[in-house]
Chain A
Amino acid sequence: MEITLDELANGSKAEIVTIKAIGEIRRRLLDMGVVKGTRFKVLRVAPLGDPIEIHIKGFNLSLRKEEAKTIYVKKIGEIGDGKPMNRFCRKRRGFHGGK
């Protein structure tokens, strides 16, 4: 099921499917490693409810919900997604790298 990044709860893990943002925002996201197939974890929401912070490619990235709405993701790490995060993957590539 495809949802957008802003709909994810704190602590959930997901994988990026597509980015619908355009222009500078899209370029920024791409440059920061927000590309198709990358896995990430939602860390927290700012005290006032926006922006949000995610852990991606080994660093922490914050982005506004407005921007998160343009990023389509699919949840991982749940029963039935067919892609368990096994220990081997994690060890070799970091949790984001496995496929």
Chain B
Amino acid sequence: MGENKTITVALAGNPNSGKTSLFNELVSGNQKVGNWSGVTIEKYEGTIKHKDYIIKVVDLPGTYSLTAYSPEELLARHFLIEDKPDVVINVVDGTNIERNMYLTSQLMELESNIIVALNMFDEVEKSGNKIDIKLLQRLIGSHVIPTSAVKKTGINSLLDHVVRVYEGEIVIAKNKLSYSDRIEGEIEKIKDVLELQRELKDCYVPRWLAVKLLENDQEVYKLVKEYPVWTRVERILLDLIDALEKEDSDDAEIMITEDRNAFIRGALHETVIYAESKKKTLTEWIDSVIINRFLGLPIFLFIMWSVFQFTFTLGEAPMGWIESMFDYISGIAVIVIPEGILQSIIVDAVISGVGGVIVFLPNILLLFIALSFLEATGYMARAAFVVDKIMHKVGLHGKSFLPMITGFGCSIPAMMATRTLKNKGDRLVTMMIIPFMSCGAKLPVYVLLISAFFKPSIAGNVLFGIYLFGIAVAILSAKLLKSTLFKGESEPFVMELPPYRLPTLKSILIQSKHKAEMYLKKAGTIILAASILIWVASNYPFSESIETKYSQEISIVKQEQLLNEEAKQFKVNALELAQASKQLEYSFSGRAGKLIEPLIRPLGFDWRTGIAIITGLAAKEVVVSTLGTIYSMGEVNEESVDLATKLQDDPNFTAATAMSLMIFVLLYIPCLASIAVFKQEAGSWKWIGIYSAYAMSVAWIASFGVYRISLLLGFGN
């Protein structure tokens, strides 16, 4: 019997209960990470073979309760009700049983086969608290297994119990959580009515439905409303509300919560003896320094700075390696593949496109290693605590701060880091303002334009001013978006500050690896497609007449007898550059640049800048290289000059134009890579549309304003 039977096990528990570590221990390396369908909440699954059984473990999102308010809780609830896992392991933090048991009390009501894993039991023993496990089992009506993910104890016993509970070999009489008489009476009344409806009786636990109706749970309301019994249920509920109002007593929701808490308190009163301890805990010590009145903010800023340095300074070297690796590969491709369209598409589109994706990988990995570390140690919650007041002023949550800071390095990991925000509105607003935090790729554009048009003595101030301008736009945008599109959608700041714990290297690496894979898979494909598209737009249509004209000129130069080899080569190069810029002008991108000229004229840009703006959609550094190509026109006989000088010499390009262009590059749609990530995180094209329209309008208005003011201030000549 029992030859390779599959048992589905769900892992449910509070955040910070050590659930993830326990999961990693249970499935030890056999986990796979995906997303729950329809939401960007990660789904961890894994399988293990135990005895003759295949045990499939699903790690539900960490929740404090099972209400209908947060997507995580709804998801956990749906999985428990709809997918009906064979066994539910409820991970309870043994050092904080009272609050953790609140979820247990709700799981009891769902009448699943629960096993309680009393986790962090090593810490319980150390603290000297005594727990009467046998009695606790009887009171909550399920097995209680002491476990410790850190010390790797109790794991086998837990798996044994999963099998035995599945086979029905050991049964502990299920205990019912009973409420006060008043509530029990109402539950019975509603339950009796609900049981008349076969569909409800067969698929759900009627008592649970009744409790949830009394708790005013909108999802369950919606469900029951579909059936004819609703009219009768509604009458009972309305009568109760009226009666409670007349008595001026608390509503049913509060009474139920209080009863649950009373049940837990009673159960713990009988089973747990707390050791008397006057000693300050480690967490209290650390907190009294790290978030104290005076040091809290400086320490916070220092940690943010360290994360930033860790991610971008440490990431610089591997980024360089990746870049030179791809240079090497395209060098080989140029030799191996014969010159022509195939070579161009492979070298300029595929290799540079893939390279452009992979080059961000070191940053993403490092940032997520740092973030998972901060999250797992417990500092992340403190960071939100310290900075929440500022963020709350613009309508955001304290947790938005870190992603925003990360945006100064690169928008891509920054947008991925918004996953710590649970509220969708908060997340979208944060993602929409992240690109305004000027990222590293925009720097070359500023450097070029500032060095061309501003004195070295004020160059630094101009650069700083641009960064500040971005921050100001981000703050104003957050305020604007929060008071219009995302009105009222804010996550309440009721947050646990968990005890400090040293995370395991394993769980940090697993999480960071998952983030990197996700980026490569989802963003990578879109970016590759987009870079091919931009390549096509910049190379087609191809003008034969330009090609013929320049080939002729080049061959004439090559045959000239009067010039030495060096001068010949110089002339040929100049002609080739001129040819490239003519071809670019003739291509779709060039035509588009001319097409949008009337639109960008008021900002001081001509069609050449227009082309740079369009190709700059691929990546912001491309703005510089495009300007380089396009400004190389018609200078065959001149001495080689750098792009900055060429821009200065262009009468249409003034300091005012430079200011305007820098502001435009700062604010308009960021690179395609970050748009791809935005799509992946926001989940719908609708938000991309809204975001693009918003970013473009802001960029246009701001550039227009800056250009006009600069003209008034005399920067126009």
Contact = CB atoms under 8 A, between A and B. Distances in A.
A30 B253 contact: yes
A35 B257 contact: yes
A59 B389 contact: no
A47 B385 CA distance: 9
Interface of A: 18-19, 24-33, 35-38, 43-51, 53, 57-64, 67, 87, 90-94, 97
Q: How large is the interface on B (under 10, 10 to 19, 20 to 34, 35 or more residues)?
A: 35 or more
A44 B385 CA distance: 11
Contact of A62 (B65, B69, B250, B495): B495
B389 A50 contact: yes
A63 B276 contact: no
Contacts of B287: 43-44, 60
Interface in B368-400: 381, 385-390, 392
Given A30-B253, A90-B276, A61 B494 contact: yes
Contact of A32 (B97, B99, B297, B499): B99
B606 to A, nearest CB: 48
B285 interface: no
7 contacts: A26-B253, A33-B102, A43-B287, A46-B386, A48-B390, A50-B392, A93-B274
B69 A46 contact: no
A53 B494 contact: no
- Grouping DSSP codes into helix (H, G, I), strand (E, B) and loop, the B interface class, with mixed when no group exceeds half, is helix
Interface in B481-521: 492-499
A67 B494 contact: yes
A8 to B, nearest CB: 16
- Grouping DSSP codes into helix (H, G, I), strand (E, B) and loop, the A interface class, with mixed when no group exceeds half, is mixed
Given A25-B494, A92-B274, A58 B99 contact: yes
B536 interface: no
Contact of A47 (B69, B258, B294): B294
A61 B268 CA distance: 21
Contacts of A33: 98-99, 102, 261
B269 interface: yes
A29 B493 CA distance: 10
Nearest to A28: B494
Given A30-B254, A35-B261, A53 B385 contact: yes
Contacts of B274: 90-94
Contact of B257 (A25, A30, A43): A30
Interface in B97-134: 97-99, 102
A22 to B, nearest CB: 10
A97 B96 contact: no
B467 interface: no
Interface in B609-631: none
Contacts of B250: 18, 36
Contacts of B392: 50, 64
